[in-house]
Amino acid sequence: MEKKNLRFYIIKLINILYKIYKLFYYKKKIINLRKKILNYNYKYHVLNNSNILDYQYDKLLSKLEKLENLYPYLKNKYSPTKLVGSRYKSLIFFKKSYHKIPMLSLNNVFNKNDLFKNFFFPINKLINKLNFCCELKFDGIAINLLYKNGILISAATRGDGIIGENILKNVLKIKSIPYMLKGKNFPKILEIRGEIFITKKKFIKLNQQKFGKYKLFSNTRSATYGILKINKDINEKIFNLLNFYSYGIGFIDQIRFVNQQEILTKLEYFGIPICKYTKIYSSYYKIINFYKYFKKNRNLLPYNIDGIVIKINNIKKQKILGYTNHAPKWAIAYKFPSQEKLTLLKKIIFQIGRTGVITPIAYFNTVNINGVNINFATLYNINEIKRLNLKIGDHIVIQRCGDVIPKITNVIINKQFLKKRINILIPTLCPSCNSILKKTVNNILYCKSGLSCKDQLKAYLKHFVSRDAININFIGKKLINKLVDKNLIKNVIDLLNLNNNILSKIDNLGNKSINKILQSLKNKQKVTFNKFLFSLGIPEIGIVTCYHISLFFTTLEKFLNTNLVELRSIKNIGKKTSLNIFNFINKKDNIIIIKNLLKKIKIIYPKNIFKKNYFYQKKITITGKFIFITRSNLIKKLIILGAIIHTYIRKKTDLLILGTHPSSKLLKATKLNIKIINENKVLSLFQKYK
Ligand code: IVH
């Protein structure tokens, strides 16, 4: 009997051991298969050089799928079986994506004088002996590629610089963007920044009706954007039209670089396409020659560029110079002059902005510059009319400044047409509300009636519903104009209180549209703090400033009780901005509006605004392995709470987070008497700040 029992247990044990063996065996097999497939993907999509036939590839994929189904606990969301495209299966499509580090813009100059005045001279006062990295300025769409453990997990457009749209689904289909990084020792988390664009040849091909309804884009940039935003299953070949070059990085862990050139070289090593024309120069003369060369020969390049970008090569020196609100001080875009066209001035309309400032808008016969049709340009203020001695009927020169904003640069006086010129009358009364216009010392005309002036109200309401503010769908420019013109709404509160009764007074607005509008208003009960601040329309306060304010003040109440000194201490807020904010929050009418808004809208204070936490501004290093949290998640959470993560222990380090199997960092931290906490403590602190 006993012998029988023993035999039974031995067989059971052998069975269990066999199962464990099988599990390890298949785990290894699954991992190897994934690696193999990802490698084929890389060759196929990046090198454009597949060394496996489609049916063989599909066989490998289905083998992996079978094994993953057999051992579901070995499934992984980054497995090639979960990916998109002809060689990718299901879809990954996240709507919004926070950039780990904001995506800033670049300051522009258009001539040598400004280049020296705005860039070289100010820098030279602080630092001398510099090397500059000179790159081409690609004319496409900026993209932020997030690689986790070498795998592309998100691809976000620039958006407002803080949050972009995740278009990973489409980006995965662009051959030159690798799904998997090549080489060894890539960082666990890496944001790669660059530009997606379409070559000139492919642009022509696109417009030659080769892709059904995706044709006739007016320029390469809009074509790139149009393709990237496709959100339905169409001929995937359209994505083969897109190319990519990287020009830098955003967030990175583990690796530190000495200069921009080193970053680009490393990116190339990882299999990321970079442009071969980048050059390092230390002399201004050579930089100007680089610019001149590409200005002359840009037509020979297969893609459009709109200038060059000059960057300080050394990263430490970049850090010394730092950033303005929207751009680095260590880089500048030196743009090519744009094309000019001659046309006829038809009329001037005086437009009233949301703060009452009157801007003259010139309307002229349509011209096409660099593929874009243009029929109006703003004149900034009435000085501009006088400076140009502008009259209706004039022959005017239009330039697309920086290839974006159209500008009247010149008036061609032709004796033959002199008699036909008609004087432009500068208004003394507001064209909207007839109140007497005022003038600032700088000759800027403005209407001081505030929101009782219908045009100002319309402009403010458009700002209020816009994407960066409260973001209310289905309430557009036309509807706002009609509602205000018919006296159906007098302020934002009326807009939030719109109902069936009021909306049915608008012509051509069916029940379906009314329901959509009402539903969209109903959905908008919660808004993040930064967007709420932006929606208030404080003069000259942009979205980035609102973001900084939202990070500084934990509540709206604190913001409303602030003072000028405190405002000046906020990152990127200068004298003028702080004064604008201070004046705004000290106006009784504004406070009444805010109070009424709060009856309808709840402000969400994002978690990362919560500053007084244990980790905030602490310099933290991490060592070892963690059981309940992945290292990358740990870092992410710490960053959200405002921690500064350092790879190595230094004298200045505030804290070491200790996992199992620590490295020599532990010894160093003990020697330097640095505070050490373990995983449990970190997790309990995270719980506290949840
Ligand atoms: S660097 C922090 N380098 O230009 C500054 N930008 O006008 C990061 N662009 O949004 C930009 N070529 O999308 C950089 N070689 C280049 C570029 C480049 C094109 C785009 C980029 C940026 C825009 C700013």
Fold of the 451-607 domain: DNA polymerase; domain 1 (1.10.150)
* Cα 403–Cα 192–Cα 179 angle in degrees, nearest 5: 115
Relative to the CA of 248, which ligand 1 atom is closest? Answer: 1
Over 80: is that where the pLDDT of 382 sits? yes
Residue spans of alpha helices (H) in 499-658: 500-503, 511-523, 529-535, 543-552, 556-560, 564-568, 575-585, 588-600, 631-640
Whole-number Å distance, alpha carbon 38 to ligand 1 midpoint, is 30
Q: How far apart are CA 640 and CA 607, in angstroms?
A: 8
Written as one string, the DSSP assignment of 362-430 is EEEEEEEETTEEEEEEE--SHHHHHHHT--BT-EEEEEEETTTEEEEEEEE--GGGGGG-BPPPPPSB-
Q: Does residue 295 carry a catalytic annotation?
A: no
Sign of CA dihedral 325, 330, 331, 337: positive
Q: Supply 30's token pair.
A: 């699954």
Whole-number Å distance, alpha carbon 22 to ligand 1 midpoint, is 51
Mean pLDDT throughout 264-284? 95
Domain boundaries, the chain: 2-74, 96-335, 340-446, 451-607, 612-688
Over 80: is that where the pLDDT of 372 sits? no
Q: How confident is the model at residue 328 (pLDDT cuts 50, 70, 90)?
A: very high
Q: Supply 551's token pair.
A: 């990070």
CATH superfamily, region 340-446: Nucleic acid-binding proteins (2.40.50.140)
Among the listed ranges 61-70, 173-182, 243-252, which one has the minimum average pLDDT value?
61-70
Looking at residue 143, what is its pLDDT?
97
Expressed in angstroms, the distance from the first to the final Cα of the chain is 59
Mean pLDDT throughout 52-75? 77
Looking at residue 91, what is its pLDDT?
31
Q: Over the stretch 152-175, which tens digit does the pLDDT of each residue have?
A: 999 999 887 888 888 988 898 898
> What is the value of pTM for the model shown?
0.49
Looking at residue 215, what is its pLDDT?
46
Q: How far apart are CA 37 and CA 564, in angstroms?
A: 60
Q: Which residues line ligand 1 (CB under 6 A)?
A: 104-106, 135, 137-138, 142, 158, 195, 247-248, 309, 328, 331, 333
Fold of the 2-74 domain: Helix Hairpins (1.10.287)
Looking at residue 234, what is its pLDDT?
67
Relative to the CA of 275, which ligand 1 atom is closest? Answer: 15
Q: How confident is the model at residue 317 (pLDDT cuts 50, 70, 90)?
A: very high
Over 90: is that where the pLDDT of 419 sits? no
Looking at residue 605, what is its pLDDT?
83
Q: Could you tell me which residue, 410 or 294, shows the higher pLDDT? A: 294
CATH superfamily, region 96-335: DNA ligase/mRNA capping enzyme (3.30.470.30)
Q: How confident is the model at residue 611 (pLDDT cuts 50, 70, 90)?
A: low
Contacts for 499 with CB less than 8 Å, ≥ 6 apart: 518
Q: How far apart are CA 108 and CA 111, in angstroms?
A: 10
Whole-number Å distance, alpha carbon 85 to ligand 1 midpoint, is 28
Q: How confident is the model at residue 318 (pLDDT cuts 50, 70, 90)?
A: very high
Q: Which residue has the tokens 């703060």?
A: 355
Whole-number Å distance, alpha carbon 161 to ligand 1 midpoint, is 12
Mean pLDDT over all residues of the chain?
85
Mean pLDDT throughout 284-295? 95
Q: How confident is the model at residue 88 (pLDDT cuts 50, 70, 90)?
A: very low
Whole-number Å distance, alpha carbon 370 to ligand 1 midpoint, is 20
Q: Which of 99, 119, 196, 247 best tests ligand 1's pocket when mutated (most atoms within 8 Å of CB)?
A: 247
Over 70: is that where the pLDDT of 626 sits? yes
Relative to the CA of 141, which ligand 1 atom is closest? Answer: 13
Over 60: is that where the pLDDT of 5 sits? yes
Looking at residue 499, what is its pLDDT?
94
Q: What percent of the chain has pLDDT over 90?
A: 42
Looking at residue 48, what is its pLDDT?
42
Mean pLDDT throughout 633-659? 83
The CATH number fitting domain 612-688, selected from 3.40.50.800, 2.60.40.2470, 3.40.50.720, 3.40.50.10190: 3.40.50.10190
Q: How far apart are CA 147 and CA 560, in angstroms?
A: 40
> If you take atom 7 of ligand 1, which residue's CA is the nearest one?
106
**684: how many CB neighbours lie within 10 A of its CB?**
10
Q: Which DSSP state fits 435?
A: P
Relative to the CA of 323, which ligand 1 atom is closest? Answer: 2
